Structure 1
C-alpha cells in the first residue's frame, strides 16, 4: 500500500518529526511505498535516517509562517501535483495545522488520517481543540497517542473515529543500564515548555549528595537562563549541560544514567520515556497526559516541584528500588517496540478498508 506522511516541516529536531521518520522507515521496510512530505523547509534540517527507504519531499523552501498569498497558491499547486504523481493510498497528516492546510487539497483517492501528538489537556488550553473539532471528525480516522486521550477527544470533541496508536521505539537495546552511576538525566530542547528549570530545582531540593549530577542533553534558547538558575539553586557545579548528542550515541547516555527526569509543561507520549525505559532506567514525570501515564514513570502532580524532588531523592538513595522500577520500565517498553506499533498501524489501515 501507499502511505504519505505530511508534516508542517519534516526535518526539524522534534518529537513529531522523529516519530514520523521512524514510522516511515519501518513501513517502507515492510514493503510499502512511503512518502514523507514537509510543507515547509526546516530552518536547520536534521537527518533522522541515514539511508531512508522512503521518498522525501519539501513543498516550499520558505520557513513556516513566512508565505505570502502568491507563495501559498504556488505551494498548494505543488501539493496537488505531488499527490497526483503518487499512487493512491493513505494520507497521514501529523498535526491540526497540516489537517487544516490540506483540507480541500487531497485527491479523493487518498484516505485521510489525522494524527495529534499532544494530550487532550494541552489541546483544550490552546487553539488545537477547536481545530480538531472542526476538521478531524470528517477524516477516515483520528489518531491519538493513548487510550485515555482518545476517549477524552471522542467525548469532548465529539469524534466518532478516534483511534489509539502510540509512538514507537526506533530500536530495541540489548543492554540495560547498571543503574550505579550517580546521574540524573534530562533530554529535550532547552525551551520554556520543557521546564528544565523545574528539573534543576527538583534536583537541588532532592538531597541527592555529590557525586550525584544532573546531565541535560539538548540545545535551545534557554541555555544561559538555565545555567544561571542552576547557580542560584546552588547546584551549578553539578548540573552538566551536554549540548546536542547525535542519535546514534544516545543509547550510551541512557546506559550511563540511573534516573530520568521529565518536567515538561505538557507532553503527548514522549519518546524519551520509552527510550529510557527500554534501557531499564526508571523515570519520574509530571502526570500531564494519558501518554505519559502509559509509559509507566513514577508520577507526581503537575508542577509540584517538591513532590518531584522527593521522588528523585528516594530513587537516588535506593538502588534496589531503582532496579525494581527499571525492570518494570523495560517490560512496559516492550509494547512500544517498532514491530508492535507497525502491526497496529497496518491493523488500522485494514480497519479503514473494511
Structure 2
C-alpha cells in the first residue's frame, strides 16, 4: 500500500474541510495505507474528529508564521517531515495549501490538489485565478461534483480535473422518526454560513409552536444571531446549542425533522450527507453542484421568502417529510465511506498510469 499525505493550512478547526480530511485519513489508513495529516499551523480551538486515529497527525507551527524568518523555519520543518515519509501521494486540500506546499514536496510524490468549494464560489474570489495558475501542473485536480469538475475543465482550462465527493464517516442504522418539532442548522456561527437567513426564514415560515430552530456550532456571530432572533420575534424558539462532539451528532439528527442550509456558498456540505443518511429532509439554497447532488428541496440563493415557504410546507406534513427523508437516505448511499474510498484508490491508480 502507498503513503498518502493530506496537507491542510489548519487541520483541526471545526469545519467541513477538516472533517472530510480526517474521515478520509482514517478510512485509507484502515485499508492499509500509511496516512499522514499535516496542519501547517495549530488551530486556536482544536476539534477532535477521530477518537482512535490510525493515521499520523502533525502540526508544523504553533501559529501562522508572521514573518519571513518564521515562515522559512516552518518550511524547513515541513520539508524534513516530508523527507521522512515514503513517497506516495501528496494531497493539498485548498488553494492556500497548494501555494504553500507544492514546492516543498520531495521528488517521488504525486501532487494532487483538492478544492472544497464550488466553481461559482471560485469564480467570485481569488480562488479561480489561483487554481488556474497552480493546479494545472499537478498530477490531478480534485473537485466535489461532476458539475464542478466539468466547469473547471471547461472554463479554467484544467486538463486534469477529477470529481470525488465528500464521504460520510459513518452509516447510521436508524432513521429519524421526523415527529420532533425541530428544524436543525449545523455549522460554524460565522458570516459565510448566513444563519441570520435561516432564523429569518424560520420566523417567517408560519411554523407554529412548539416548533424550534436548533443551531449547532459556535463562532463569532453568536451574539449577533441572538439579537437577530430577538428582532425577528423568535428569540424564545431559537436554541443555540454550541459545539456538539462528532460522536453526538447521530442523536441530533434523530431528534430533527428538517435540516436547513442557508450558506452564502458551499462545496458539498457534510451536513446534507449526514442528515440524508439519517433520513432527515433538507431545504437548501442552490449554490453548487455539490448541494444539488446531495440536497433535496432547493430554492434560489438568498431567497428567504421561498426558503420560509418550504420550511412551512414540510413542517405542515409529516407524510411529506417521510417521503423526502426516504429519498434523502437513498441519495446518501452514494457518499458512504467505502464508495468514496474506492474512488480515491481509483484516482491513485489513474495517477500512477
For the aligned pair, the TM-score class normalised by the smaller chain equals over 0.9
Matches within 5 A, 1:73-112: 73-112=72-111
Residue deviations 1:201-227, cap 9 Å, x none?
000111111111111111111111111
Residue 205 of structure 1 corresponds to 204
5+ long unaligned stretches in structure 1 = none
How far apart, CA to CA, are the structure 2 residues paired with 1:186 and 1:236? Answer: 15
Q: Secondary structure at the residue paired with 2:38?
A: strand
Q: 1:164 & 1:91 partners in 2: Cα distance?
A: 17
CA contact (8 A) 2:283 2:295 kept: no
Alignment of 1:120-269 (within 5 A): 120-269=119-268
TM-score of the two chains, using structure 2 as the length reference: 0.99
Shift of 1:67: 2.3
3-state SS of 1:9 partner? coil
Cα offset for 1:297?
Answer: 2.0
Matches within 5 A, 1:235-314: 235-314=234-313
Name the residue aligned to 2:4.
Answer: 3
Q: Distance in 1 between matches of 2:87 and 2:286?
A: 40
The separation in 1 between residues aligned to 2:305 and 2:177, in whole angstroms, is: 27
Is structure 2 residue 73 aligned with structure 1 residue 42?
Answer: no
**What SS does the aligned partner of 1:104 have?**
helix
The separation in 2 between residues aligned to 1:38 and 1:280, in whole angstroms, is: 34
Structure 2 unmatched ranges of 5 or more: none
Counterpart Cα distance in 2 of 1:343 and 1:49: 21
For residues 147 and 3 of structure 2, the distance between their equivalents in structure 1, rounded to whole angstroms, comes to 29
Counterpart position of 2:25: 24
> What is the CA–CA distance in structure 1 between the aligned matches of 2:66 and 2:87, rounded to whole Å?
28
| 1:273 and 1:297 in contact (8 A); partners too | no
Quote the Cα distance in structure 1 between the aligned partners of 2:253 and 2:324: 15
DSSP-derived class of the 1:38 partner: strand
Q: How far, CA to CA, are the matches of 1:61 and 1:203 in structure 2? A: 41
The CA RMSD over aligned residues, in Å, is: 0.8
Deviating 4+ runs (over 2 angstroms):
none
User: Aligned-pair distance for 1:296?
Assistant: 2.9
Distance 1:127 1:107 in 2: 27
* Alpha-carbon distance in structure 2 between the residues aligned to 1:296 and 1:234: 29
Asked if 2 retains the 8 angstrom alpha-carbon contact of 1:166 and 1:341, the reply is: yes
Aligned pairs, how many?
352
Distance, in Å, in 1 between the alignment partners of 2:235 and 2:42 is: 37
* TM-score, with structure 1 as normaliser: 0.98
C-alpha separation in 2, matches of 1:284 and 1:47 = 28
